[in-house]
Structure 1
Amino acid sequence: MEQRSQFQFNKSSHIPELTVLQAAMSDFRYDRHAHEEHAFGVTLSGRQDFFSGGHFHRSTPGQIIHFHAGDVHDGESGGADPLNYVMVYIHPDRLDPLLAEAAGQAHNGSLRLRETLLADAPLRQVILQLAQLVNAGGGSQLDQEHALYQLAARVAQRLGRYQANAVSPRVDTLLLRARDYIHAHLDDDLALEDISDAVHLSKYHFLRLFRRQFGITPHQYVLNCRINAARNDLEAGQAANEVAFRYGFADLSHLNRRFKRIYGMTPRQYQASVCA
């Protein structure tokens, strides 16, 4: 008989402790089990019926399922429609320090969501964004690290523990140095750790301080700088395809989307307008 349930696991090429499951279920039921990772899932369609924490739950489209590392659970498709969902697995060695950073504390022993099933639009959005980056095999290390930190920050916010540190004059100088480092390494596949190491700050503390100081994240700033550099090359007559590759865009369509959001036209349209 044909297997109607499908499961696809993808490991991040940038973050070894991060795995994403894309699942379609209609004729399969999980045995009760536990994972060594924290898990954050989003039900896309259908309904997922499962047991966890001594209770039975039903997850409908848009809801988030959260399992702490070691939580015993099962799961199956409920109702008449097939179940489709995505699940992000993050090892505690990677996520727990992020939670501590987001909460501004040295350790995170008490930072644990108590809800197994929850509705939270910002958290759902970042789970789906992170899953898309891993499943598509796209985005830089900075893209995925930024999305992972957003997840940790949203969990800390839900717990009422998120901390946004004030910027001291010393930190202001360090952040300006970080900005200079970014400009000097636009051709590299920059990771958040590369930039934070250059100014001797922990990477997620640095991320919070940078966003507070400049109004955008390091990821957004790097992207903006690369678009500006691409603009200069286009004005010099460089081919748009070559420019996209040089500055780390997945392809020309990726550069097109990002460029148009800032300049209101595609790179080729811009080049035609200024080089005519």
Structure 2
Amino acid sequence: MEQDSQFRFIKSVHLPEVTALEAAMDTFTYDKHAHEEYAFGVTLSGRQDFFSNGVYHRSPPGNIIQLNPDAVHDGNSGGDEPLNYVMLYVHPRQIEPLFANAAGAEEASDIRMSETLTHDPVLRGHLMELVRLIANNVGSRIDQEHALYQIASRVVQRVGRFEPDEVARRADVLLRRAKDFIHNHVDADLSLEEISDAANLSKYHFLRLFRRQYGITPHQYVINCRINAARTALEAGEPVNDVVYRYGFSDLSHFNRRFKRIYGMTPRQYQQSVTA
């Protein structure tokens, strides 16, 4: 780990698919990556610089970062002051039923946050409260459930129902097939042709469409999915050496490098952090 950077991941003991991160960064830079979860961050001090959704963002203290699942982004400390921030990672399975309830709908998988960077003191307060409960392991299950529902309600209040246009919807359907295929074969040696076949698209048309839609190549997305799957295995307590080869990394050194550029620590350090 970088000497001037500290990362602390804490899994909620009450909400099985919610993880909090407390981070302090100076020179560390995240590689371009994406999470399966919704991610909500609050910049506490310094400035958080990152690229996402085709735009370069700068987040000063008090601002909120919102990332939809699979939103490609990077990140580093900007300005002269060290960066301190917190993040919440919430799996769609955990929060989308709350979105639906808040929206008065049967399901809400099509709700997406349109603002990557925003200033909302109400939402910031809800986020900081859930981070506090998880990081300090205080309060009951109902306290954390209520805090998460407050977050979901505020998000729905701000964005309403997201309805993509018909062209975007058709592209989403085809690319979703490809992404589902990748997730279902994350431990296999996949080829571009196999993935594009799953989307019923020609190989190079699929490559262009995928990169334009998500900002990374299918190969980069496969690596990202392997890292995320490995992270889940580590959280379940599986030995690091077993995880390395299952998800296609050539050796532990390769796995360490890839993992650290996304999570700021080695796989072993991450496992010790969330299972302590």
TM range (shorter): 0.5 to 0.7
For residue 110 of structure 1, report the CA deviation from its aligned partner. 3.0
The C-alpha deviation readout for 1:163-208, integer Å capped at 9, x for no partner, is xxxxxxxxxxxxxxxxxxxxxxxxxxxxxxxxxxxxxxxxxxxxxx
Aligned positions of 1:158-237 closer than 5 A: 158-160=158-160
Q: Which whole-Å CA distance do the structure 2 matches of 1:113 and 1:160 have between them?
A: 9
Residue identity matched to 1:117? L
Structure 1 residue 109: Cα displacement: 3.1
- Distance change in 2, residues 1:2/1:120 (3 Å): closer
Return 5+ residue gaps in structure 2 as ranges: 162-276
SS in 2 for 1:145: helix
Classify 1:80/1:13 alpha carbon distance in 2 versus 1 (closer, same or farther; 3 Å): same
**Larger C-alpha radius of gyration, 1 or 2?**
1
Question: What SS does the aligned partner of 1:30 have?
Answer: strand
Q: Distance in 2 between matches of 1:2 and 1:152?
A: 34
Output aligned runs, 1:44-59, within 5 Å: 44-59=44-59
Alignment partners' CA distance in 1, 2:148 and 2:21 = 16
CA displacement 1:213-243 (0-9 Å, x = unmatched): xxxxxxxxxxxxxxxxxxxxxxxxxxxxxxx
Aligned twin of 2:261: none
Alignment of 1:73-88 (within 5 A): 73-88=73-88
Q: Which runs of 4+ in 1 moved over 6 A?
A: none
Counterpart AA for 1:17: E
**2-structure distance, mates of 1:45, 1:34:** 24
| 1:142 has 2:142 as partner | yes
C-alpha separation between the residues in 1 aligned to 2:112 and 2:101? 14
Give the TM-score, by structure 2 length.
0.57
What aligned pairs does 1:21-40 form with structure 2 within 5 A after superposition?
A: 21-40=21-40
Q: What residue number does 2:200 align with? A: none
- Match in the other structure for 2:254: none
> Is residue 69 of structure 1 aligned with residue 56 of structure 2?
no
Residue 223 of structure 1 corresponds to which residue in structure 2?
none
SS in 2 for 1:31: strand
Deviations along 1:124-155, whole A, 9 cap, x unmatched? 00000000000001110000000000000101
Please give the alpha-carbon distance, in whole angstroms, between the structure 1 residues aligned to 2:111 and 2:14.
Answer: 25
Residue 2 of structure 1, CA deviation: 6.7
Q: How does 1:233-272 map to 2 (within 5 A)?
A: none
Q: Are the aligned partners of 2:17 and 2:90 in contact in 1 as well (CA < 8 Å)?
A: yes
CA deviation digits over 1:32-52, x for unaligned, max 9?
000011000000000000000
Report the TM-score, using the length of structure 1 for normalisation. 0.57
- What is the rounded CA distance, in whole Å, between the counterparts of 1:85 and 1:34 in structure 2? 18
Q: Point out where structure 1 has 5 or more consecutive residues left out of the alignment.
A: 162-276
In structure 2, the partner of 1:242 is none
Cα-Cα RMSD: 1.3
RCO higher in structure (CA 8 A, sep ≥6): 2
Identical aligned residues as a percent = 59
- Name the counterpart of 1:120: 120
Aligned pairs, how many? 161
Structure 2 Cα separation of the partners of residues 151 and 128 of structure 1 = 10
